[in-house]
Structure 1
């Protein structure tokens, strides 16, 4: 009997279209279901609807930044166990520390590689196995 596991839902929150598209392309190639959001407000509504298994959030965003978005996700009892990975173009200790304070699970510096993205998912989503989609 063929085992069919539901594809992992991954949310990518970034105000950069390029970053969203890059992450979405990489993640879809390994069989993930990708939900993107342009900022924290956009994301919060989508999180409630889609219940992603892991969330990548950019720190520098208009309206609601990554720290505020992460804090709101982690303060919601329904989502506090959802891994949140911060994305930043700055590799600062201060940013990493601040990310930990608001409850983020990991910190990736942009530009991130496919390996870093998948590594973060493997670390925080037990049982995730990337399925390389055959590109025809």
Structure 2
């Protein structure tokens, strides 16, 4: 899959995290969709149909676990990779992420390389 054909959604209540992820991805040629929280993400997923979703765990209203579970329950988006983002690198958080269907776990602050490697790994599987 060509990076220009790949849409990546970043769901995080931190403007700084959203913007830095967007810069890394856009510089590498990816299309980026930003969402401020779980509700915003769920509203945008159907319109934008992202290929990969990065989802923060700690968000107001609808946390990352709930957001991921709702995405994975929808038959149209069940196979969309969801990568959990968290500042905590705990075993419990990783296990809980797996229970709701997340495909990977990335610890914040993430690097440009770790972000791009995650996208590349999941888009390579899709082709």
Structure 1-normalised TM-score? Answer: 0.88
How do 1:1-136 and structure 2 match up within 5 A? 6-126=4-124
Q: Report which stretch shifted further, 4-13 or 29-38.
A: 4-13
CA distance change for structure 1 residues 32 and 6 in 2, over 3 Å: closer, same or farther? closer
CA distance change for structure 1 residues 95 and 34 in 2, over 3 Å: closer, same or farther? same
Stretches of 4+ aligned residues off by more than 6 angstroms? none
Q: Which has the larger radius of gyration?
A: 1
In the alignment, structure 2 segments of 5+ residues that lack a partner are none
In the alignment, structure 1 segments of 5+ residues that lack a partner are 129-136
Rounded to whole Å, the distance in 2 between the matches of 1:5 and 1:126 is 10
CA distance change for structure 1 residues 127 and 105 in 2, over 3 Å: closer, same or farther? closer
Rounded to whole Å, the distance in 2 between the matches of 1:118 and 1:13 is 16
- Count of aligned positions: 125
Shift of the alpha carbon at 1:7?
2.3
